[in-house]
Amino acid sequence: MFDFMKQYYPVFIEGTAQTILISVIGVLIGILLGLFFVMMRLSKLKVFEYIARIYIAIVRGTPSMIQVMLIYYTLSKVISIPQVQFLGSGLDRVIPGSIALGINSGAYTAEIFRSGIISISRGQTEAGLSLGLSEKTTMFSIVLPQAIRNILPALGNEFISLIKESSVLFYIGVQEVTAQALGVGGTLYNFVPPLIVAAIIYFVLTFLLSQLMQFIEKRMSRQYI
């Protein structure tokens, strides 16, 4: 059933590497956007709060596939990205796709950060301010580290979801795992075995990530015992 892997395993390795790459980029963008918009969301200036609310509402209320296509076609008209091939895909597709994943993840990450921040007692902020620390220093040195420890499982789930969401990038021609599986399936005139291989790859990636997040969570918990 899986004899085709002898010939096509390099294709799946390339697709897996592509999936990992775009997921890592998406996660980094998502974290940065999440922190940025959660600060706006919690800002005392209403205009910043409303901008953050609108961004989060739009991203969470529209399909990720539509977001990917909109960002891809918009960026392709606004800026010129070189069509350099990397792991079987042009950077003109990988870069917009990774940005789209990051923008999508940023909305969910912002809400995760917000839930963690508001879970920290107001007394922690007041203690920092009473010591003469600025609000910014208090947030990033006292409140946020404790919030991250509380939201680590939720962040891990978001990262796992991002790996699976990366499959939508095959719509714009990014040769990640799903696209490679469909390509092999078309060559073999049988899509089931290649898709099973793709499912196994996604499972292994998400399982390893979940184990890593559990390890980090335990290490961080020990620091507060």
Q: What is the overall mean pLDDT for the chain? A: 87
What pTM does this model have?
A: 0.87
Rounded-to-integer distance, Cα 33 and Cα 27, Å: 10
Q: Are 37 and 56 in contact (CB under 8 A)?
A: yes
Domains along the chain with CATH numbers = 13-177 (1.10.3720.10)
How far is Cα of residue 13 from the mean position of the Cα atoms in its chain?
A: 21
Quote the pLDDT of residue 75. Answer: 84
Residue 34, both tokens: 């999440």
Q: Per-residue pLDDT tens for 109-154?
A: 999 999 888 888 777 777 777 777 777 788 877 888 888 888 888 8
